[in-house]
Structure 1
């Protein structure tokens, strides 16, 4: 799970467990996607009460997963943002306690569910809602490779370097005219055991 900074944080068990709630993952994801929000604005986006979002915001803040933006706040409304940076699950999963492993599964599953929903929303967006110049700017691509674990690790490093370079290149542009926040996704993982023809190995 990445955001917009090459520097990252591996979630300690207490922070992982604090995040392990579908609504908190959703709040965390919205703060990444839309920037600073209040409990009221998040409630409107999610369809919850501001009391519920306020409670979950405080729980996330207690573990430094998000932070208050005091310069934007008032006596009646507090603004919240999430720190820049990549977050990763503590691992490997086999080394976790059962409770930590369950928390990691909740967080990962919800992040991926939201990620897929965002992609489907993009695919199904009507042309009338596509701003000028953005209609053909995106890329959805899947390919299959036959490689070794060492080659996949090398490819992972190359893709990470490309993403990190883009983060540095476009850092600080959020207020420039014509910019929009975009989702940049890179995935590389092994498929179930298969022979060279791509059929499942029956042995």
Structure 2
């Protein structure tokens, strides 16, 4: 998450009480549906999530108590309320939440649910995008991976700059208003250290530990010959 003054939207830091209210798989899914498709009723959310409207209505009210969702002003009736997610980001990770095993596990639950949702929509696009979308949409979409060796400071500078730029560009596009032909689009950004790889002592790149162990095992089991000596 970049510094809050670098992004054009509010960033909410979740406290213990609100985290406990959010730490339910269906509530995370409700937030995801509202983020993805915009305002919904309890009935339409039930259809999206294959749940009863009574269940989604209950969880919406619990989320509303902690300001994760709100009623849409001027829309709906007493019998059919419309709900939306307030503008802004939700920051789950914090030293305060990590200090308690219970809140740390709740944070992991919420993060896992959001990540499962991201993986599901990406897998669906990769499996069915070519048969469901026109060529212009496939050309506009991007799935990209880059690898580098960075320090923690370099990674922080990269992610902060990239996320701040991306959010500001997206905000400019949103300010243009919804255009004809628009459809829901989800944008993912992941940048993280690969586990199992030791930090460099200098400029010499190191192989992952499991690869080093495999190479050592091969060296120890391969017979020597005049043409090839195992060092």
Q: TM-score, normalised by structure 2?
A: 0.80
Q: Would you say how many aligned residue pairs link Structure 1 and Structure 2?
A: 202
CA contact (8 A) 1:8 1:86 kept: yes
Q: Which moved more, 1:129-138 or 1:181-190?
A: 129-138
1:181 match: secondary structure? coil
CA contact (8 A) 2:97 2:103 kept: no
2:167, 2:130 → 1: CA distance?
Answer: 31
Report the Cα offset of residue 84 of structure 1.
1.0
Of 65, 70, 84, which residue of structure 1 is paired with 2:68?
Answer: 65
Of 197, 200, 208, which residue of structure 2 is paired with 1:199?
Answer: 208
Alignment partner, residue 92 of structure 1: 95
User: Deviations for 1:23-46, whole angstroms, at most 9, x for unmatched residues?
Assistant: 000000000000000000000011
1:66, 1:6 → 2: CA distance?
Answer: 16
Question: Of the two, which has the highest radius of gyration?
Answer: 2
1:53, 1:65 → 2: CA distance?
Answer: 14
**1:31 maps to 2:34:** yes
1:133 match: secondary structure? helix
1:91, 1:174 → 2: CA distance?
Answer: 34
CA contact (8 A) 1:5 1:167 kept: no
Q: Which moved more, 1:68-77 or 1:32-41?
A: 68-77
User: What stretches of structure 1 of length at least 5 have no aligned partner?
Assistant: none
- Once superposed, what is the RMSD of the aligned Cα atoms? 2.3
Q: Following superposition, which runs of at least 4 residues in structure 1 exceed 6 angstroms of deviation?
A: none
Alignment partner, residue 180 of structure 2: 177
- Report 1:1-40 matches (<5 A): 6-40=9-43
1:189 match: secondary structure? coil
Q: Which has the higher helix share?
A: 2
